[in-house]
Structure 1
Amino acid sequence: MNNTGYSNLINTIGLGNIDIGYLFLGMAVLLVILLILTICLLVKTQKLKKRLDRFVLGKDGVSLEQDIIALFEDNKFLKINCDKNKKDIHTLYKRMETAYQKMGLVKYDAFRQMGGQLSFSLALLNENNDGFIINSVHSTDGCYSYTKEVIAGECSITLGKEEEKALAIAMGDEK
Protein backbone atom coordinates (compact mmCIF):
# COMPACT_ATOMS: atom_id res chain seq x y z
CA MET A 1 0.00 0.00 0.00
CA ASN A 2 1.35 3.36 -0.97
CA ASN A 3 0.85 5.95 1.80
CA THR A 4 2.83 8.67 0.11
CA GLY A 5 0.02 9.45 -2.32
CA TYR A 6 -2.38 9.75 0.55
CA SER A 7 -0.05 11.92 2.64
CA ASN A 8 0.77 14.06 -0.39
CA LEU A 9 -2.96 14.76 -0.76
CA ILE A 10 -3.26 15.69 2.91
CA ASN A 11 -0.17 17.87 2.71
CA THR A 12 -1.50 19.57 -0.44
CA ILE A 13 -4.74 20.65 1.26
CA GLY A 14 -2.82 21.84 4.33
CA LEU A 15 -3.78 19.12 6.80
CA GLY A 16 -0.45 17.27 6.92
CA ASN A 17 0.23 18.19 10.56
CA ILE A 18 -3.16 16.94 11.83
CA ASP A 19 -3.48 13.46 13.25
CA ILE A 20 -5.65 11.26 11.02
CA GLY A 21 -7.76 10.24 14.06
CA TYR A 22 -8.82 13.82 14.63
CA LEU A 23 -9.68 14.13 10.98
CA PHE A 24 -11.89 11.03 11.15
CA LEU A 25 -13.44 12.25 14.41
CA GLY A 26 -14.26 15.64 12.83
CA MET A 27 -15.74 13.94 9.81
CA ALA A 28 -17.82 11.66 12.08
CA VAL A 29 -19.17 14.68 13.99
CA LEU A 30 -19.95 16.40 10.70
CA LEU A 31 -21.69 13.23 9.48
CA VAL A 32 -23.82 13.06 12.67
CA ILE A 33 -24.79 16.74 12.29
CA LEU A 34 -25.74 16.17 8.66
CA LEU A 35 -27.73 13.06 9.66
CA ILE A 36 -29.64 15.07 12.31
CA LEU A 37 -30.34 17.86 9.82
CA THR A 38 -31.55 15.31 7.27
CA ILE A 39 -33.93 13.78 9.83
CA CYS A 40 -35.25 17.25 10.76
CA LEU A 41 -35.83 18.06 7.10
CA LEU A 42 -37.65 14.75 6.57
CA VAL A 43 -39.92 15.44 9.55
CA LYS A 44 -40.70 18.95 8.26
CA THR A 45 -41.33 17.57 4.78
CA GLN A 46 -43.78 15.00 6.19
CA LYS A 47 -45.63 17.73 8.12
CA LEU A 48 -45.79 19.87 4.99
CA LYS A 49 -47.06 16.89 2.97
CA LYS A 50 -49.81 16.26 5.53
CA ARG A 51 -50.84 19.93 5.42
CA LEU A 52 -50.86 19.88 1.63
CA ASP A 53 -52.95 16.68 1.61
CA ARG A 54 -55.43 18.31 3.97
CA PHE A 55 -55.50 21.41 1.76
CA VAL A 56 -56.20 19.62 -1.49
CA LEU A 57 -58.45 16.99 0.16
CA GLY A 58 -57.22 14.24 -2.10
CA LYS A 59 -57.81 16.19 -5.30
CA ASP A 60 -55.38 16.32 -8.15
CA GLY A 61 -53.77 19.56 -9.34
CA VAL A 62 -56.23 20.06 -12.21
CA SER A 63 -59.35 19.87 -10.05
CA LEU A 64 -57.75 22.11 -7.44
CA GLU A 65 -57.00 24.66 -10.16
CA GLN A 66 -60.63 24.48 -11.30
CA ASP A 67 -61.80 25.01 -7.72
CA ILE A 68 -59.59 28.07 -7.37
CA ILE A 69 -60.84 29.47 -10.69
CA ALA A 70 -64.44 28.87 -9.53
CA LEU A 71 -63.70 30.74 -6.30
CA PHE A 72 -62.33 33.71 -8.25
CA GLU A 73 -65.43 33.70 -10.47
CA ASP A 74 -67.67 33.59 -7.39
CA ASN A 75 -65.68 36.48 -5.94
CA LYS A 76 -66.21 38.52 -9.13
CA PHE A 77 -69.93 37.69 -9.06
CA LEU A 78 -70.21 38.80 -5.43
CA LYS A 79 -68.31 42.01 -6.15
CA ILE A 80 -70.61 42.84 -9.08
CA ASN A 81 -73.68 42.12 -6.92
CA CYS A 82 -72.27 44.23 -4.10
CA ASP A 83 -71.79 47.17 -6.46
CA LYS A 84 -75.32 46.70 -7.83
CA ASN A 85 -76.73 46.54 -4.29
CA LYS A 86 -74.91 49.76 -3.38
CA LYS A 87 -76.45 51.51 -6.39
CA ASP A 88 -79.90 50.12 -5.54
CA ILE A 89 -79.59 51.26 -1.92
CA HIS A 90 -78.52 54.72 -3.09
CA THR A 91 -81.53 54.86 -5.44
CA LEU A 92 -83.88 53.78 -2.64
CA TYR A 93 -82.38 56.37 -0.33
CA LYS A 94 -82.94 59.10 -2.92
CA ARG A 95 -86.54 57.97 -3.35
CA MET A 96 -87.08 57.88 0.41
CA GLU A 97 -85.98 61.51 0.74
CA THR A 98 -89.22 62.62 -0.89
CA ALA A 99 -91.47 60.06 0.80
CA TYR A 100 -93.45 61.17 3.83
CA GLN A 101 -91.48 59.90 6.79
CA LYS A 102 -92.59 62.12 9.64
CA MET A 103 -96.06 62.42 11.05
CA GLY A 104 -97.64 64.52 13.74
CA LEU A 105 -101.26 64.04 14.80
CA VAL A 106 -103.22 66.19 17.22
CA LYS A 107 -106.84 65.31 18.03
CA TYR A 108 -109.02 67.99 19.57
CA ASP A 109 -112.56 69.23 20.09
CA ALA A 110 -113.19 72.11 17.66
CA PHE A 111 -116.31 73.26 19.51
CA ARG A 112 -117.14 73.03 23.19
CA GLN A 113 -120.53 71.41 22.62
CA MET A 114 -118.83 68.59 20.61
CA GLY A 115 -117.03 65.82 22.46
CA GLY A 116 -114.93 62.80 21.50
CA GLN A 117 -112.10 64.74 19.86
CA LEU A 118 -113.39 64.14 16.33
CA SER A 119 -111.40 67.05 14.85
CA PHE A 120 -107.70 66.61 14.05
CA SER A 121 -104.60 68.20 12.57
CA LEU A 122 -102.28 65.85 10.69
CA ALA A 123 -98.81 66.94 9.52
CA LEU A 124 -96.96 64.73 7.00
CA LEU A 125 -93.35 65.66 6.17
CA ASN A 126 -90.48 64.19 4.19
CA GLU A 127 -86.80 64.16 5.18
CA ASN A 128 -86.40 67.83 4.22
CA ASN A 129 -89.46 68.84 6.28
CA ASP A 130 -91.49 69.48 3.14
CA GLY A 131 -95.10 68.30 3.11
CA PHE A 132 -98.54 69.40 4.20
CA ILE A 133 -100.91 69.75 7.12
CA ILE A 134 -104.47 68.47 6.93
CA ASN A 135 -106.85 70.07 9.38
CA SER A 136 -110.23 68.39 9.72
CA VAL A 137 -112.85 70.28 11.72
CA HIS A 138 -115.88 68.26 12.81
CA SER A 139 -119.06 70.12 13.72
CA THR A 140 -122.75 69.32 14.01
CA ASP A 141 -123.21 70.59 10.44
CA GLY A 142 -120.52 68.31 8.97
CA CYS A 143 -116.83 67.76 8.60
CA TYR A 144 -114.61 70.30 6.83
CA SER A 145 -111.03 69.57 5.77
CA TYR A 146 -108.31 72.10 4.96
CA THR A 147 -104.76 71.62 3.75
CA LYS A 148 -101.72 73.85 4.14
CA GLU A 149 -98.40 73.36 2.36
CA VAL A 150 -95.21 73.14 4.43
CA ILE A 151 -91.81 73.93 2.89
CA ALA A 152 -88.62 73.43 4.92
CA GLY A 153 -90.67 73.23 8.11
CA GLU A 154 -92.41 76.57 7.49
CA CYS A 155 -95.93 77.39 6.33
CA SER A 156 -96.74 80.62 4.47
CA ILE A 157 -100.29 80.61 5.92
CA THR A 158 -100.93 81.28 9.60
CA LEU A 159 -101.33 78.05 11.55
CA GLY A 160 -103.75 77.35 14.37
CA LYS A 161 -102.37 76.08 17.68
CA GLU A 162 -103.35 72.46 16.87
CA GLU A 163 -101.67 72.71 13.45
CA GLU A 164 -98.53 74.20 15.02
CA LYS A 165 -98.46 71.38 17.55
CA ALA A 166 -98.90 68.72 14.83
CA LEU A 167 -96.07 70.33 12.81
CA ALA A 168 -93.82 70.43 15.88
CA ILE A 169 -94.53 66.74 16.59
CA ALA A 170 -93.75 65.79 12.99
CA MET A 171 -90.48 67.73 13.06
CA GLY A 172 -89.53 66.10 16.36
CA ASP A 173 -89.66 69.32 18.36
CA GLU A 174 -92.49 68.19 20.62
CA LYS A 175 -93.84 64.86 21.78
Structure 2
Amino acid sequence: MISQYLGFDSDYIIIGLSAVVLILLILIIVNIAQMRKLKKAYKVFMSGKNGKNLEDTLIKRLDQVDTLLEANNENEKTIKSLFEAMQLTYQKMGLIKYDAFNEMGGKLSFSLAMLDVRNNGFIINAMHTREGCYTYIKEIVDGNSIIVLSDEEQKALDRAMGKTENNE
Protein backbone atom coordinates (compact mmCIF):
# COMPACT_ATOMS: atom_id res chain seq x y z
CA MET A 1 0.00 0.00 0.00
CA ILE A 2 2.55 2.55 1.02
CA SER A 3 4.96 1.07 -1.49
CA GLN A 4 2.40 1.71 -4.23
CA TYR A 5 2.13 5.41 -3.33
CA LEU A 6 5.88 5.87 -3.14
CA GLY A 7 6.62 3.80 -6.19
CA PHE A 8 8.83 1.28 -4.34
CA ASP A 9 8.68 -2.42 -4.53
CA SER A 10 8.40 -4.03 -1.08
CA ASP A 11 11.11 -6.52 -2.00
CA TYR A 12 13.72 -3.74 -2.08
CA ILE A 13 12.66 -2.50 1.35
CA ILE A 14 12.92 -6.00 2.80
CA ILE A 15 16.37 -6.51 1.24
CA GLY A 16 17.56 -3.13 2.61
CA LEU A 17 16.28 -3.85 6.11
CA SER A 18 17.85 -7.34 6.00
CA ALA A 19 21.22 -5.76 5.12
CA VAL A 20 20.92 -3.34 8.03
CA VAL A 21 20.05 -6.21 10.40
CA LEU A 22 23.01 -8.21 9.08
CA ILE A 23 25.39 -5.28 9.67
CA LEU A 24 24.02 -4.83 13.18
CA LEU A 25 24.51 -8.55 13.90
CA ILE A 26 28.12 -8.31 12.73
CA LEU A 27 28.69 -5.29 14.98
CA ILE A 28 27.15 -7.15 17.94
CA ILE A 29 29.43 -10.14 17.33
CA VAL A 30 32.50 -7.87 17.15
CA ASN A 31 31.39 -6.13 20.34
CA ILE A 32 30.93 -9.46 22.13
CA ALA A 33 34.42 -10.56 21.06
CA GLN A 34 35.94 -7.33 22.35
CA MET A 35 34.07 -7.67 25.63
CA ARG A 36 35.43 -11.21 26.04
CA LYS A 37 38.98 -9.93 25.48
CA LEU A 38 38.40 -7.18 28.03
CA LYS A 39 36.98 -9.62 30.58
CA LYS A 40 39.92 -11.96 30.00
CA ALA A 41 42.42 -9.12 30.52
CA TYR A 42 40.54 -8.03 33.64
CA LYS A 43 40.62 -11.57 35.05
CA VAL A 44 44.36 -11.82 34.38
CA PHE A 45 44.87 -8.46 36.07
CA MET A 46 42.79 -9.39 39.09
CA SER A 47 43.70 -13.08 39.29
CA GLY A 48 45.29 -13.93 42.60
CA LYS A 49 44.91 -10.36 43.73
CA ASN A 50 42.67 -9.21 46.43
CA GLY A 51 42.18 -5.67 47.59
CA LYS A 52 45.20 -5.92 49.90
CA ASN A 53 47.57 -7.09 47.15
CA LEU A 54 46.35 -4.36 44.83
CA GLU A 55 46.86 -1.81 47.60
CA ASP A 56 50.41 -3.12 48.15
CA THR A 57 51.13 -2.74 44.44
CA LEU A 58 49.86 0.83 44.44
CA ILE A 59 51.89 1.69 47.56
CA LYS A 60 55.00 0.21 45.96
CA ARG A 61 54.48 2.31 42.83
CA LEU A 62 53.88 5.46 44.88
CA ASP A 63 57.10 4.80 46.82
CA GLN A 64 58.92 4.51 43.49
CA VAL A 65 57.45 7.86 42.42
CA ASP A 66 58.64 9.41 45.70
CA THR A 67 62.13 8.01 45.09
CA LEU A 68 62.15 9.47 41.59
CA LEU A 69 61.06 12.86 42.91
CA GLU A 70 63.87 12.83 45.48
CA ALA A 71 66.39 11.89 42.80
CA ASN A 72 65.06 14.69 40.60
CA ASN A 73 65.51 17.19 43.45
CA GLU A 74 69.08 15.98 43.95
CA ASN A 75 69.75 16.35 40.23
CA GLU A 76 68.39 19.90 40.27
CA LYS A 77 70.69 20.79 43.21
CA THR A 78 73.68 19.27 41.40
CA ILE A 79 72.89 21.16 38.21
CA LYS A 80 72.55 24.41 40.17
CA SER A 81 75.93 23.89 41.90
CA LEU A 82 77.57 23.03 38.57
CA PHE A 83 76.09 26.16 37.01
CA GLU A 84 77.41 28.28 39.88
CA ALA A 85 80.87 26.71 39.53
CA MET A 86 80.81 27.35 35.80
CA GLN A 87 80.48 31.07 36.45
CA LEU A 88 84.05 31.03 37.80
CA THR A 89 85.62 29.12 34.91
CA TYR A 90 87.30 30.65 31.88
CA GLN A 91 84.74 30.41 29.12
CA LYS A 92 85.95 33.00 26.63
CA MET A 93 89.18 32.94 24.70
CA GLY A 94 90.86 35.24 22.22
CA LEU A 95 94.15 34.39 20.50
CA ILE A 96 96.19 36.70 18.27
CA LYS A 97 99.40 35.45 16.64
CA TYR A 98 101.88 38.03 15.38
CA ASP A 99 105.51 38.77 14.55
CA ALA A 100 107.03 40.63 17.48
CA PHE A 101 109.95 41.84 15.39
CA ASN A 102 110.01 42.40 11.66
CA GLU A 103 113.21 40.40 11.10
CA MET A 104 111.52 37.14 12.24
CA GLY A 105 108.71 35.38 10.40
CA GLY A 106 106.21 32.65 11.19
CA LYS A 107 104.13 34.59 13.70
CA LEU A 108 105.72 32.88 16.70
CA SER A 109 104.56 35.49 19.22
CA PHE A 110 101.01 35.52 20.56
CA SER A 111 98.57 37.20 22.93
CA LEU A 112 96.04 34.94 24.64
CA ALA A 113 93.06 36.37 26.55
CA MET A 114 91.11 34.05 28.90
CA LEU A 115 87.94 35.44 30.50
CA ASP A 116 85.07 34.18 32.61
CA VAL A 117 81.41 35.08 32.08
CA ARG A 118 81.92 38.45 33.84
CA ASN A 119 84.91 39.33 31.62
CA ASN A 120 87.42 38.80 34.44
CA GLY A 121 90.61 36.92 33.70
CA PHE A 122 94.04 37.49 32.21
CA ILE A 123 96.05 38.06 29.04
CA ILE A 124 99.26 36.15 28.44
CA ASN A 125 101.61 37.77 25.94
CA ALA A 126 104.50 35.64 24.65
CA MET A 127 107.12 37.48 22.58
CA HIS A 128 109.50 35.29 20.61
CA THR A 129 112.87 36.84 19.70
CA ARG A 130 116.17 35.50 18.40
CA GLU A 131 117.51 35.51 21.95
CA GLY A 132 114.54 33.68 23.53
CA CYS A 133 110.88 33.85 24.43
CA TYR A 134 109.49 36.29 27.00
CA THR A 135 106.04 35.97 28.56
CA TYR A 136 103.99 38.58 30.32
CA ILE A 137 100.64 38.36 32.01
CA LYS A 138 98.13 41.15 32.63
CA GLU A 139 95.05 40.95 34.80
CA ILE A 140 91.66 41.78 33.29
CA VAL A 141 88.79 43.00 35.48
CA ASP A 142 85.39 43.72 33.93
CA GLY A 143 86.94 43.65 30.47
CA ASN A 144 89.61 46.26 31.29
CA SER A 145 93.26 46.23 32.32
CA ILE A 146 95.01 48.59 34.72
CA ILE A 147 98.16 48.25 32.61
CA VAL A 148 98.13 49.63 29.09
CA LEU A 149 97.56 46.89 26.52
CA SER A 150 99.48 46.51 23.27
CA ASP A 151 97.52 46.41 20.00
CA GLU A 152 97.76 42.62 19.88
CA GLU A 153 96.64 42.25 23.49
CA GLN A 154 93.69 44.57 22.87
CA LYS A 155 92.72 42.54 19.80
CA ALA A 156 92.89 39.31 21.81
CA LEU A 157 90.75 40.89 24.55
CA ASP A 158 88.22 42.16 22.01
CA ARG A 159 88.07 38.74 20.38
CA ALA A 160 87.49 37.03 23.75
CA MET A 161 84.67 39.45 24.55
CA GLY A 162 83.15 38.86 21.11
CA LYS A 163 83.73 42.38 19.83
CA THR A 164 85.56 41.22 16.69
CA GLU A 165 85.33 38.30 14.28
CA ASN A 166 87.57 35.25 14.73
CA ASN A 167 88.93 35.33 11.19
CA GLU A 168 92.45 36.63 11.79
> Which residue does 1:50 correspond to in 2?
39
Please say which structure displays the higher CA radius of gyration.
1
1:171 aligns with 2:161: yes
> Which residue does 2:83 correspond to in 1?
93
Q: TM-score normalised to the size of structure 2?
A: 0.71
Q: TM-score normalised to the size of structure 1?
A: 0.68
Deviation, structure 1 residue 102:
0.7
Name structure 1 gaps, 5 residues minimum. Answer: 1-42
Deviation, structure 1 residue 64:
2.2
Provide the rounded CA distance (Å) in 1 between the counterparts of 2:99 and 2:159. 19
> Which residue does 2:124 correspond to in 1?
134
Provide the rounded CA distance (Å) in 2 between the counterparts of 1:57 and 1:167. 71
Residues 56 and 64, structure 1, Cα contact 8 Å, conserved in 2: no
Bigger CA drift: 57-66 or 110-119?
57-66
Residue deviations 1:84-125 (CA, integer Å, cap 9, x gap): 111111111111100111111010111111111100000000
Deviation, structure 1 residue 56:
2.9
> Which residue does 1:162 correspond to in 2?
152
1:144 aligns with 2:149: no
Provide the rounded CA distance (Å) in 1 between the counterparts of 2:124 and 2:132. 16
Deviation, structure 1 residue 66:
1.9
The residue type paired with residue 152 of structure 1 is D
- Runs of 4 or more above 6 Å deviation: none
The residue type paired with residue 68 of structure 2 is L
Alignment of 1:1-175 (within 5 A): 50=39, 53=42, 56=45, 58-61=47-50, 62-175=52-165
Provide the rounded CA distance (Å) in 1 between the counterparts of 2:92 and 2:153. 14
Name structure 2 gaps, 5 residues minimum. Answer: 1-31
Residues 121 and 162, structure 1, Cα contact 8 Å, conserved in 2: yes
Deviation, structure 1 residue 52:
7.5
The residue type paired with residue 75 of structure 1 is V
Provide the rounded CA distance (Å) in 2 between the counterparts of 1:117 and 1:125. 23
SS at match of 2:139: strand
Identity %: 42
Provide the rounded CA distance (Å) in 1 between the counterparts of 2:91 and 2:110. 19
Provide the rounded CA distance (Å) in 2 between the counterparts of 1:131 and 1:140. 30
Deviation, structure 1 residue 63:
2.8
Length, aligned pairs only: 130
